Amino acid sequence: MPVVVIYSSTQACPPALDLAFRLRAQGHQVRSLSELPTPRPARLYSLQLELAGLQQDERTIRWVLSQYTEGIRMPDADRERDLRSDLEVTLWQIDNVTAFLAQLKGGVVSE
């Protein structure tokens, strides 16, 4: 059976630690979170691309909303409300991806 490397915190909940120790008894490796390998460049690039796409979505939504505000497009209450909701979700996603990228670049990912 292939060896599985398990990364666990000493502050993990008892069931998680129990599982880690049972797997170690079966010959698998248990390591601390400080021993996590640095992220692969492909993962960083993937997240950077995702962030760029989300930022483009944000710019597009803001542009359409500005056209409503400036009277270039006729406002549609339902569409405008939907765009504002989309903007909130997009900004939340940007915050999450940005935070995750910062963690990866620091070398430690916490759950």
Do 54 and 15 share a domain, yes or no? no
pTM for the full model? 0.59
Which tens digit of pLDDT belongs to each residue from 61-105? 999 999 998 888 887 888 999 999 999 999 999 999 998 888 877
Q: Could you tell me if residue 111 is inside a domain?
A: no
d(CA 61, CA 94): 14
Residue among 28, 91, 37, 95 nearest 62 (CA): 91
Do 9 and 52 share a domain, yes or no? no
* Chain mean position to CA 25: 33
Contact by Cβ (8 Å): 7, 33: yes
Q: Per mean pLDDT, which range of 18-22, 34-38, 46-50 is the poorest?
A: 34-38
Secondary structure of residue 78 in the 3-state scheme: helix
Residue 106 CB coordination number (10 Å): 11
Do 60 and 94 share a domain, yes or no? yes
Among residues of the chain, what percentage have pLDDT more than 90?
Answer: 34
**Which structural domain range is residue 27 located in?**
5-35
